[in-house]
Structures are given as structure tokens and as C-alpha cells.
Amino acid sequence: MRRELFAFLKYAAKRIITLIIVVVLAIYATILVANMGGYVDEIIKAQTRDSIYTSVFQNPAYQHLSTEEKKQLAEQLYQIEIEALGLDKPFIYRSGGYLISALSLNLGRATYLTSDSGSTAVRNIIAERLPATILLFTTINLTLFFLSLVGGLFLSRKYGSKLDKAVVTLSPFSSIPGWFYGIFFILIFAAWLRWLPYGGLVDVPPPANPFDYALSVLKHMVLPIFSWLVAYSFVQTYTKRTFFLMFSSEDYVEMAKAKGLPPRLIERRYILKPTLPPIITEFALTLIGSWMGAIVTERVFNWPGIGTLFYQAAMFMDSPVIIGEVTIYAYLLAITVFILDIVYAIVDPRIRIGVSGA
Amino acid sequence: MSVKRLRGTFKQLLAYRSAVVGLCILCFIVGLSIYAVIAIPYEEAIRAWRLGEDVSINNPRNASPSWINFFLQKKLPETIIMDTLKKESGAKKAIVPSETISAIRIEFPFEFNYDDFPSELNLFFTANYSEKAPYITIDWIKPNGATIRLKEMVVKKTDRYYISIDNELAQKLRLDLSEKVGQEIPYEIPPQLSLFAVEDGSILKPETAQVLKGKYKMVIEGILFEKQSDMDSRLVVYGKVFGLAGTDHLRRDLMIGLLWGAPIAVSFGILASVLISFSQMIIAAVSAWYGKWADMLLQKATEFFMILPFLPILMMIAIFYKLSIWVLLVVVIALSIFGSGVKTYRAMFLQVKELPYIEAAQAYGAGNLRIIFRYMIPKVLPTIIPSLVLSVSSFVFLEAALAILGLGDPVVPTWGKIINDAYTKGALHQGYYYWVLEPSFLLVLTSLGFALLGFALDKIFNPKLSEI
């Protein structure tokens, strides 16, 4: 017993260390990319220099100075400003500082973007966008997940039926992504029929009454949800159905059938139980994934969420915002993966001892 | 795979109706691609697409495809072009020469029998003179004989007169018409309406205004002040339909973009899918075969790439370097090499690794690389072909997604870029549905073709699926 506990702890420790290394490396890579390997610094420097020179040369207080003196003054001010921004040190040195503050979730301030309330703190900007994304994509992903789970189980029981064949036939249509269906649904339901809004979170101006507000948000959610359901429900139901069918053709299921166990019991004990771990993994990763939003879908529907924020940040090369978003995501993902690993190690003795390589 | 086996697979494929449909679609798209590359040389396509209005000044703006007239009761007008340099276009030019001052007369007679108004009216001039430019008057003669003076102007060496945005003219015509109808016209009536409309009460609303059908004529009379002086002119009565595909906001023929989108989408999708699948497979095989440190390192690399958000990183790189589509392809591949596929393939290779024939290969002294490339990869290859075909669709749409985000190739026309143009120029709000629907239709067709084929292949190569 003690040896087993020791092995388990060793496994957990190893897992934590490797995860931490991966997260640190991934965040550092993001810092490098988001700063274009230091090039963004050069842009900021050039902009600072420009604005300082203009302000010195246009300031009436410095009228009496000669051009040479003005230049000198501007250069001095520029040096002070650069030092204040910390841009006088080489990028590699500063990237280490960025890494440490990112890892300690000290997300800093955005370069250009602001939250609607006017704050430049990355924390506030993300906190403002997160609810919209979570609202939309958690709804979509949860609906999709449970719909496909129940649907898949149902179809696996009656495979070969007309409904089953219909789902199999329709699943190639899932090769078309959700945002693409979104464009069509906007065309049909917004542009042509004028039943639903083109996009956005709420009507403009937003209704004052909280109930009307919620109703308006709901109205705006219909098309994005609908387009994702149409795009992905068939193929997800199809994969789940196939997955269940594969497990229900295992020998031990045949054995249980031969023993004459009732179908419900077979399903619960011999089919659902072994399929549970991959399903839980998928569920957890889907939930985490919905925190990131979907850039293209949010752009198509003009949804003011994390995906749109990513897009804006990338467009403006606002590296602090990008690094902040990636850091939060990396942490969430790493924690989830770790918890799942531990849960499986407890449930599945093979993992604990390290037998299974897969 | 031997040729025999390939043939066998093909026969099996034909047994699936969906696969046959998929193959037909793909043949069509590939045919379209080949036609595009042959019919419109690359440079010409890029020139027409980049320069926009300079090349396609004779095309109407935002015109629907011509075939739409089959479905409409009100026939939309085609574009009418008359050029004095092309006699067959119906334009007439006469010069009365003299030692000092010559007179010139240009006539553009044309019939207009459509049910809707033209979208624009433009006049273009090229004049030949050394010092003193020609002076002209432009008159418009309606089918009922009424003559309207449009403008008097001096013609420079290359000159143009945009009749439909001449505000002065618009005001004058509005006043004249108001007088004729006996009631003031309550909206800003553009010249192409007032010049073509039936002059009665119907004109008071833009929706009810009717086209006066019949023979119109534009007459340009001018004076050439030099002996060697000459002048040519072109009248364009822009329609509301154009070609098989219509035009966009820059008057570009959408057909060029639609045709050229095909080879680009197909080659982007296939290249990305094939290169990524193969590199993932090689990495997985190496990881599974060597095990230990190599395995550990490669597995950590996949986790690393799992945390890096694919699209934002791709976007940042694309924005920063203004990538062409082929460099973009390289970046996409580089970011996807350690994708989730590696884990799936690795699991397969772990099983293959234990098979007896691998042991036999080791026994006769096969090296590591030989075992990986000659024995392990060929064994797994058939099982990944379906997913390879299936993932082509997702890469075709990835290109479209990047274009929607405004990160498409800056030069080459693609389907995604057309959709993006349509989207940002408000095609959905203004009812230019064809602009979105045409590229979308081709995108859907392409992706469905690959998906149908992929699903069928999946049933053939993974027989466990076809049983159930």
C-alpha cells in the first residue's frame, strides 16, 4: 500500500514538473511571437521618438531654443521615456521579465486596446470580454456535447435504422465549419427574412429593463448557436455512435449478452463504464476550449468576446493582451490536464504503475 | 500500395453512392482549376484583380450575373459600350476639315429596351492636339425626340465625363422634370434615371419610375482648333447584370476570382493535408520506435503546441509579415506538425511495433530508419488516408477563414477573399446575395467532395466501421 502511494506520488510529481516546463516554454514562445522577437519594441521606440520630437518642436515654451538645442532636449526626453518604459535594456533580458510577470498572472497594461470602461489593464479587458464568450460558447458546446452523447447512444442501440442512416448521410456536411453556416443564416434570417439581428451582443441602445436585456441577448444568440448545431451535431453524433458501437462489439459485452443480462444493465456496466474516461476528457477539454471563444465565428457575428479580443490584439500587435489571454488559457489547460491525469491514475491502475505506454 | 490494390480500392469505392458523388464533384472542381489555369494566365488574372477599376472600367459596379434575367420578370439591362475607335459598336464620327478650325460630330445611337434603368453613364475621351484643346457640347436625344443639353466642356488629352455623378446636371434635370410633371420631384433623382425615365407622375417615386423604351442618341459636337487635331470618344451605359458571375464593388469580373479560386483552394488544401499528415506520421513513428527520451521529447512538443493557440499565432505571423498564400501554407504546416494527429498515430505505431514481422526485420539486421520507413509507415498508411482526405476540407476553409479575418494573400484572388470583400462591403445588407453565394457555393462543393470521398474511404480502409 505504501509502495503504491509512493509510486503514485512519484507519477504525480513527474507529471507536474513536465507540465510546468511545457507551460513555461509555451508562454515564452508566445511572448517571442507576440513581440515579433523584439521588433514590436522598435515600433514603440519609433513612435515615442516621433511624438516627443513633435511635442518639443511644436511647444511654444521652447520657441527661443535653436533647432540644435531642441533636438538635444528631445533626445534627452526620449532617453528618459525609454528608460521609464524599460526599453533601454535588450529584448532578451526584458522577455525574461515578461515571462515572470505573465507566470505570476501579473498581466500588465495593454499597449493600445482599452476596455469599454476605459481601463488599459489587461486583466480588466479580459474580464470584460470573458462573460460574453463563456455565455455563448459554453451554451453551444454543452448543447452539442449532450445532444451528441444522447443521440449517439440512441443511434448505437438502433443502428441501421432510417434515423441512423440519415445521420450517417448528413455527417459529411460537417466538413463545412460553423462560421460558414453562420454567414448563410445571417443571409437568410437577418438579411432576407429580417427575423433575427445580423450580429452583436444586444440591441443598440441596450434595453434598460434587465428582462428585456436578457431577451435581447437571447435573440442575438440564436443564430450563432443554430449555425454551430447544424454544423457539428451530425458528425459528433456519428462519431459517438461509432464509438459506442465499437465498445459494444467487445467480447465481454457478447459474454454478458450470452449470460442473459438485461440490456440496460449491459449498457450501464459494460458499455458506458469503459467509455467514460475518454468522454470525460473530451468534456473537460471542450469546456476549457470554449473559454477561448472562436475567432472567426465571433468576427462573423460581431460577438464582443475573447475571440474578437484576440483578433483586435493581433491586428494592433497588442502583445500584452495576447500574452495575457494565452497565459490564462495555458494555466486552465494545464490544470485540467493534470486533474484528469490524476483522476485516471486513481481509477486505472495500469497508468499508475506505468505499464501502458499509450 | 500496389497498383492491384489501388484498383481494388477504387472498385470498392464505386459501390458507395456518396463516394461516386464525391468523385464527380472533385472531377468538376479539378476540371475548373485546369480550365482556369489555361484560360486565364496567372499574370493576367492577378493584373485584373489587383488593378481593379483601371482594367475593368467598362464593367458595371456590383452587377448581378446575367442569367438572373431568366428568373426575373423585369429584365435588367446589360452594359452598352460604344466606341468611335470600334466602328462595329455603332458609334459614328465625322470631321469637317478646314485649314484652321475643323468641326467634329460624334453620334452614339443605341436602343434601350430593358425594364430597369442603367446603373451609371460615363463618357471617355482621348484627344490629340498640341496646344489648344477641342471644345465640345454634349446632347442627349430621347426616343420622343426631346433634346437635352448635358454639358459643354474642353477635352484634355485623356478625359472623362461621369454623367451619373454630375450634380449640376442632376439638379437641372430634376427642375426640368418637375416642371413637366407639374409637381416637384421629392428625391435626389440621379441623371441615369431622369435621362431614361417616362416623364409622367410615375417618376415621383424612385420605385415606380418607368423606363422609356426606344432609340436613344447621344450627340457630341465640337470644334478642333488645330489642323492635326483629332478626338475619339467612348460612351458606356452601364447595366445591372454582367457575365456569368457578376461584378464586385471595384467592377472586377467575379468570374476571374471564382475560377482562380479553384486551383488555389484545391492545391492549398491538398498540400497542407498531405504534408501535415505525413510529417505527423513520421514523427509518431520515430517517437514510438525509439521510445525513451525521443518519445518523451516529442510528446512534450505536442503538448507544447497544444497550448499555443493556433489561429492567433498564425494571425500574428500573417499580419506582421503580410504573407503570400504559399508562405502561409508553410507556417500552417510548421504549426500543425505536432498536432493532435501525432498522438493518434503514435498509438497505432505502438501496436505495429510489437508485430512479429518487425521482429523478423530486426533479426535480418534492418536498421532503425529502414524499419520505420519500410515496415512501420506502410502498415499504418492505409488507415490514415481517409482522415487525410477528410482534412483537406478543413484546410480549404482555413484559407477562407484567414481571408475573412482580412489575412488572405494580398495578390492572388481566392474564394475567401471574395466573401470577405462582400462581407465588408455590406453585400448582405444591400442585397448583393450573388456576391456571397457564388464563392460560398464553390467552397461548399469542394469541401463536400472531399468529405464524401473521405467518409467512404473510411468505411473501406477501416472495415471495423463498415460492419457496424
Of B405, B440, B455, the CB nearest to A311: B405
Coil, strand, or helix at residue A348?
Answer: coil
Residue with cell 482556369: B36
Q: For the residues of B59-98, what is the DSSP string, one character each?
A: SPTTPBPGGGGGT-SSPPPPPEEEETTBGGGT-EEEEE--
Domain containing residue B96: CATH number:
2.60.120
Same domain for B439 and B369, yes or no, is: yes
Same domain for B149 and B198, yes or no, is: yes
Residues of chain B with C-beta less than 8 angstroms from the C-beta of A21 = 300
Q: How do residues B79-126 score in pLDDT, each as one tens digit?
A: 999 999 888 888 899 988 887 888 999 999 999 999 999 999 999 999
A355 band by pLDDT with thresholds 50, 70 and 90: very low
Cα distance between residue A8 and residue A354, in whole Å: 10
- Domain end, chosen from B176, B206, B238, is at B238
Same domain for B396 and B461, yes or no, is: yes
Q: Average pLDDT, whole number, for chain B?
A: 88
Q: Residue A284 has which C-alpha cell?
A: 473537460
Interchain CB distance below 8 Å, B405 and A299: yes
Q: Is the minimum CB–CB distance between A235 and chain B shorter than 8 Å?
A: no
Coil, strand, or helix at residue A87?
Answer: coil
Q: How do residues B267-319 score in pLDDT, each as one tens digit?
A: 999 999 999 999 999 999 999 999 888 888 888 888 888 888 888 888 888 88
Q: How do residues A275-288 score in pLDDT, each as one tens digit?
A: 887 888 888 888 88
Same domain for B104 and B211, yes or no, is: yes
Residues A115, A120, A124, A130, Cα dihedral to 10°: 50
Q: Taking residues B253-267, what's their average pLDDT?
A: 91
Residue B371 maps to a domain? yes
B460 band by pLDDT with thresholds 50, 70 and 90: confident
Q: Residue B145 has which C-alpha cell?
A: 425626340
Same domain for B226 and B262, yes or no, is: no
Q: Is the minimum CB–CB distance between B440 and chain A shorter than 8 Å?
A: yes
Residue B68 maps to a domain? no
Interchain CB distance below 8 Å, B312 and A295: yes
Interchain CB distance below 8 Å, B401 and A177: yes
- Domain end, chosen from B183, B212, B238, is at B238
Q: For the residues of B437-453, what is the DSSP string, one character each?
A: HHHHHHHHHHHHHHHHH
Residue B46, pLDDT score: 86
ipTM field: 0.81
Q: By CB neighbour count within 10 A (0-12 exposed, 13-18 middle, 19+ buried), where does A137 fall?
A: buried
Residue with cell 535653436: A66
Asked if pLDDT for residue A3 goes beyond 80, the answer is no
Please, are residues B410 and B237 in contact by the beta-carbon 8 Å criterion?
A: no
- Domain end, chosen from B208, B238, B268, is at B238
Same domain for B132 and B217, yes or no, is: yes
Same domain for B203 and B262, yes or no, is: no
Q: Taking residues A50-72, what's their average pLDDT?
A: 82
Residue A350, pLDDT score: 62
Same domain for B45 and B79, yes or no, is: no
Q: How do residues A286-335 score in pLDDT, each as one tens digit?
A: 888 777 768 899 988 999 999 899 888 888 888 888 888 888 888 888 88
Shortest Cα distance, chain A CAs vs residue B343, angstroms: 8
Residue B57 maps to a domain? no
How many residues would you count in chain B? 468
Mutation test of the interface with chain A: which of B18, B20, B290, B307, choosing the one with the most A Cβ atoms within 10 A?
B307
Q: Is the minimum CB–CB distance between B443 and chain A shorter than 8 Å?
A: yes
Same domain for B214 and B299, yes or no, is: no
Cα distance between residue A81 and residue B236, in whole Å: 59
Residue B58 maps to a domain? no
Residue B248 maps to a domain? no
Of A171, A310, A329, the CB nearest to B455: A171
Q: How do residues B99-111 score in pLDDT, each as one tens digit?
A: 788 899 999 999 9
Interchain CB distance below 8 Å, A311 and B346: no
Percent with pLDDT over 70 in chain A: 96
Look at B63-67, B262-266, B456-460 and tell me which has the smallest mean pLDDT: B456-460
3-class SS shares of chain A: helix, strand, coil, % to 5: 80, 0, 20
Domain with B371, as residue range(s), is 3-52+253-465
Asked if pLDDT for residue A352 goes beyond 60, the answer is no
Residue B63 maps to a domain? no
Which chain B residues in 286-305 lie under 8 Å from chain A, judged by CB atoms? 291, 300, 303-304
Residue B246 maps to a domain? no
Q: Residue B255 has which C-alpha cell?
A: 468570374
A274 band by pLDDT with thresholds 50, 70 and 90: confident
Please, are residues B114 and B77 in contact by the beta-carbon 8 Å criterion?
A: yes
Same domain for B82 and B44, yes or no, is: no
Q: Taking residues A59-67, what's their average pLDDT?
A: 80
Interchain CB distance below 8 Å, A172 and B455: yes
Domain containing residue B282: CATH number:
1.10.3720
Interchain CB distance below 8 Å, A180 and B400: yes
Same domain for B432 and B324, yes or no, is: yes
Shortest Cα distance, chain B CAs vs residue A164, angstroms: 11
Residue B410 maps to a domain? yes
Same domain for B123 and B219, yes or no, is: yes
Residue B184, pLDDT score: 86
Q: Taking residues B38-48, what's their average pLDDT?
A: 87
Please, are residues B56 and B251 in contact by the beta-carbon 8 Å criterion?
A: yes
Q: Is the minimum CB–CB distance between B313 and chain A shorter than 8 Å?
A: yes
Q: What total number of domains does chain B contain?
A: 2
Q: Taking residues B246-260, what's their average pLDDT?
A: 89
Interchain CB distance below 8 Å, A296 and B401: yes
Cα distance between residue B264 and residue B67, in whole Å: 26
Residues B353, B357, B359, B361, Cα dihedral to 10°: -110
Asked if pLDDT for residue A356 goes beyond 50, the answer is no
Please, are residues B111 and B214 in contact by the beta-carbon 8 Å criterion?
A: yes
